[in-house]
Amino acid sequence: MGRVLAESAGVADAISHKRILKIALPIMLANVTVPILGAVDTGVVGQIPEAAPIAAVGVGAIVLSAIYWIFGFLRMGTTGLTAQAAGEGNGPEVVALLTRALMIGCAGGMLMIVLQRLIFAGAFWVTPASAEVEGLARSYMAIRIWSAPAAIALYGISGWLIAQERTRGVLMLQLWINGVNVVLDLLFVLQLGWGVEGVAFATFIAEWSGLAMGLWLCRGAFRSPGWKDWARVFDRVRLRRMAVVNGDIMVRSLLLQTIFVSFLLLGGRFGDVTLAANQVLLQFLHITGYALDGYAFAAEALVGQAFGAGRRGLLRRAAVRSSAWATGTAVLLAIGFAVLGPWLIGVMAKDAEVQAEALHYLPWMIAGPISFLGLIMFDGIFIGATRSADMRNMMIVSALIYYAALWLLLEPMGNHGLWLALHISFIARGVTLGLRYPALERAVG
């Protein structure tokens, strides 16, 4: 722990391009494993010669992922607060933050277990399914819900590691969880014939084993007495600050979720072909997010450390250099989508009508990496500085702008208007946060 803090405190004159890439590249590699796991889950259960098991796993996974995604505030809040404590050289607080994050994660998971009946009922009220699919999906979720404490606590562990630039550990953790999941998928479903329950048990075991590995990666913290310094862990001022930061980020995340959900639902107004095409094109945005996340995470760690150390020039250097790499990557992605977009659409959709419709709207995806750039990098910068109120408020403004754009554009422009409104919301988030950046710098020190 002392070595890590020494490195963090010594960041003062060492924000190099190499250092940014050392943080960013493992995150990008970790992100690559996410869609691979989803493909294996679908492929394995797809060996069962029925449609219902595939649909059940898809519905169950989406419901739980959406709920876990709300708890993403724990990852972001932990990163910012820990990076600042590390920048201050406050070792006891760095360790106490890990304990708090683990406690919040476990408590959130236990709450999900207690409320599982309400969660399942609400999910199938929003997303009705056939009796067969609902029955299988409930069986799947009834198993997976018991690993909710592990899954949510892992957000805190990941944030804690990222804050200290230990993204190789995050990569190892992701590879372990997904690797165990894939191996057990093959064993439980293909060898033992457990079907949908087999996929659920594979994820259950993978998530609990992932928590065990995460704790092992954090073992240095548990050698310090600070992790169980209960007076510090439960310090009212620090707990309140963590609650405020996490609460602001949760509001921001919920509003972001409403934008994407409304986008998906409104796309259904234009028919099944257009809805399917929109789903295919959204994968381009996922690719963009996976690629740019690494630089945003680098900004979170380095900006947070600089903020904690009270070094304004260092903070600006971290923001500018990480954003420069993100800009270059965004331009390459836009070029790649322009050149390879038709081929990617052909890979993801075999229906000729869906392919043609997706090609019609492909220009929106070519523009996607550029319109996405500002919001994702400013998110990282503001998370590092724990300027969560700004994130919340600018998200409220951006959501209002998005819905106003929908009201003005949807009727005259149809699906083009829907895509334009989404891009306007991206740009609005980037611009509004950018306008708040000078105040962030003034707050340093």
Q: At CB < 8 A and 24+ separation, what contacts does 142-145 make?
A: 142/116, 143/197, 143/200, 143/201, 143/204, 144/60, 144/64, 144/200, 144/203, 144/204, 145/64, 145/112, 145/113, 145/116, 145/119
Both tokens of residue 407? 């009201």
Res. 234 pLDDT band, cuts 50 70 90: very high
The residue type at 190: L
pLDDT attached to residue 38: 65
* Sequence-separated (6 or more) residues with CB below 8 Å from residue 28: 290, 291, 293, 294
For range 157-173, the mean pLDDT:
95
> Phi first, then psi: what are they for 97, rounded to 5°?
-65, -35
What average pLDDT does this structure show over 33-44?
69
CA separation, residue 154 to residues 158, 199, 303, 347 (Å): 6, 20, 23, 33
**What's the whole-number mean pLDDT along residues 151-175?**
94
Q: What pLDDT, in 10s, does the model give residues 341-365?
A: 999 888 777 778 888 988 999 999 9
Of 12-16, 271-275, 278-282, the range with the lowest mean pLDDT is: 12-16
The mean pLDDT value of the chain amounts to: 88
Question: Does residue 49 register a pLDDT over 70?
Answer: no
Model confidence at 176, pLDDT cuts 50, 70, 90, reads: very high
Distance CA 75, CA 83 (A): 12
Tell me the per-residue pLDDT of 235-268, one tens digit each, with 9 for 90 and over.
999 999 999 999 999 999 889 888 987 887 788 7
Is the pLDDT score of 412 beyond 70?
Answer: yes
Average pLDDT value for residue range 45-70:
75
Judge whether 300 and 163 are in contact, CB under 8 Å: yes
Q: What percent of the chain has pLDDT over 70?
A: 92
* pLDDT > 90 fraction of the chain, expressed in percent and rounded: 62
Dihedral angle over CA of 382, 388, 390, 392, nearest 10: 120
Residue 378 has pLDDT above 90, yes or no: yes
Match 């990008």 to its residue by tokens: 28
**Model confidence at 143, in pLDDT bands (50, 70, 90)?**
very high
Mean pLDDT of the region 209-231: 91
Taking the C-alpha atoms of residue 267 and residue 258, their distance in angstroms, rounded to an integer, is 14
Give the span between the Cα atoms of 200 and 137, in whole angstroms: 10
Q: How confident is the model at residue 215 (pLDDT cuts 50, 70, 90)?
A: very high
Annotate 122-169 with DSSP letters as a single string. HHHHHS---HHHHHHHHHHHHHHGGGHHHHHHHHHHHHHHHHTT-HHH
For residue 82, pLDDT over 90 is answered with yes
One-letter amino acid at 287 equals I
Amino acid at 31: N
Indicate if the pLDDT at residue 2 is higher than 60.
no
Per-residue pLDDT reduced to its tens digit, 391-401: 999 999 999 99
Tokens standing for 129? 């399914």
pLDDT for res 42: 65
Alpha helix positions (H), 225-361: 230-233, 236-267, 272-309, 312-348, 352-360
DSSP string, 347-384: HH---HHHHHHHHHTHHHHHHHHHHHHHHHHHHHHHHH
